[in-house]
Amino acid sequence: MASFGVFGDERKAPEAKLWADLKVVPNPKDSWASVELILPGASYSFVKQNKQAEAKSGEQAPGEVSQPPAPEIWLQQKPDNPKLEEGKIQSSLNALANLQATQLADPAQTDAFGLKAPAYRAKIILKDGKTVQLLVNQPVGK
**pLDDT tens-digit profile of 81-127?**
888 888 899 999 999 999 888 777 777 877 777 777 888 899 999 99
The reported pLDDT for the residue numbered 63 is 62
**pLDDT tens-digit profile of 38-62?**
988 889 999 988 776 443 445 555 6
DSSP string, 74-118: EEEEE-SSSPPPHHHHHHHHHHHHT-B-SS---GGGGGGGT-SS-
**Is the pLDDT confidence value at 8 over 70?**
no
The reported pLDDT for the residue numbered 57 is 46
Q: Which is more confident, 140 or 142? A: 140
